[in-house]
Amino acid sequence: MAEPIALIALALDAAIGWPARLYVRIGHPVGGFAHILTACQRRWNRPQRPRATRLAGCVTLALVMLAGGGTAWLVERAIHVALGDAGWPLVALAAFPALAQRSLYAHVTPVLRALERGDAGSARVALSAIVGRDTEALDEAGIGRAAIESLAESFCDGVAAPLFWLLIFGLPGIWAYKAVNTADSLIGHPEPDRRAFGWASARMDDLANFLPARLCAPLLCLAGMGGWRILWRDRGKHASPNAGWPEAAMAGALGVRLAGPIHYGGVRADKDWIGEGRAPERHDIRRALSIYVRACALLWLIAGGIIWLG
């Protein structure tokens, strides 16, 4: 892939993201994955038959990956057949919606602005759009902790991992990854009634993020000019085999504690603390956003270097 497809895709995502007007009119491409996953779960998820349900979950994952990667392969082939080597800008155009640099920044910023206005209620509402935990009773430290954790983890699965698979496998790679990540988000849950059906999606997402998580964590330390000791010490304290890497890097770079006890659906989950020192304050969210922007810039440099070596 000698053409600067990845750089153009990154630039398009940073410049325009997925415009709200376009989302209102046609939705987002991952919405197609959601329709497939919802239909399959409704039809095939039978918790009382775990073996058959696990097999059905594997079939569902294969279907959604085929929808993402297979469709992308057909699009890429059609572009090359029609335009040859001159078609790479269209490939970049087809790739950029799978990235989330701008979207992630745009979703965390309202949380910060609401806290800076002293409006914790609006901050909780904004936060609820990006996290799955209960937000109603969070104080300012809890809001900041959740926002920073989401920013760090989503730097991996929203930016670094899609870019990684784009650089390796082109357009089919980035959209197959988005299919897997969407499947994990929607059906890869540990609750007993969904565990068997979402097992394959959760395991495949762990595999797809294994290398990107371990690559993006050092980038956060470089961007934050520190955090290496906490990264090495606390990277394994998360329930996910991957999420602890970027979260520990961000906690170390900021000098704060992340994770810890949280509530899902009114049930307390006693998670280990990641990092050390004080609880996050509102200015730490702004610092985290600055680290995130610099880490994205480092990804641009890496992508440019790989393309140059191409």
Q: Where do the structural domains in the chain lie, given as residue ranges?
A: 5-309
User: Using CA of residue 104, residue 145, residue 152, residue 65, what is the dihedral sign?
Assistant: negative
- Going by C-alpha positions, the residue among 159, 123, 167 that lies closest to residue 141 is 123
**Cα–Cα nearest to 51, from 194, 202, 197:** 197
pLDDT digits (tens, 9 = 90+) for 4-56: 999 999 999 999 988 878 777 888 889 999 999 999 999 999 988 989 999 99
User: Which amino acid is it at 34?
Assistant: A
Q: CB–CB of 39/64 below 8 Å?
A: no
pTM (two decimals): 0.94
Tokens of 234: 């606390």
Torsion of CA 214, 299, 295, 184, to 10 degrees: -50
Per-residue pLDDT at 266 = 67
- What are the Cα distances from residue 148, in Å, to 34, 91, 98, 153, 304? 26, 33, 22, 9, 28
pLDDT in tens, 101-144: 999 999 999 999 999 999 999 999 999 988 878 888 888 999 99
- The tokens describing 45, both together, are 């998820």
Please provide residue 259's backbone torsions phi and psi, each rounded to the nearest 5 degrees: 65, -135
| pLDDT tens figures, 269-285 | 778 899 998 999 999 99
Least confident residue range of 106-115, 125-134, 239-248, 259-268: 259-268
pLDDT of 2 reads 53
Determine contact, residues 108/150, Cβ cutoff 8 Å.
yes
Percent of the chain with pLDDT over 90: 79
Strand intervals (E) in the chain: 257-259, 262-264, 267-269, 273-275
How does pLDDT run across 46-88, given as a tens digit for each residue?
Answer: 988 989 999 999 999 999 999 999 999 999 999 999 999 899 9
Q: What is the average per-residue pLDDT within 146-164?
A: 96
- Contact call for residues 152 and 159 (beta carbons, < 8 A): no
CB neighbours (10 Å) of residue 225? 9
Beta bridge partners of 268: 263
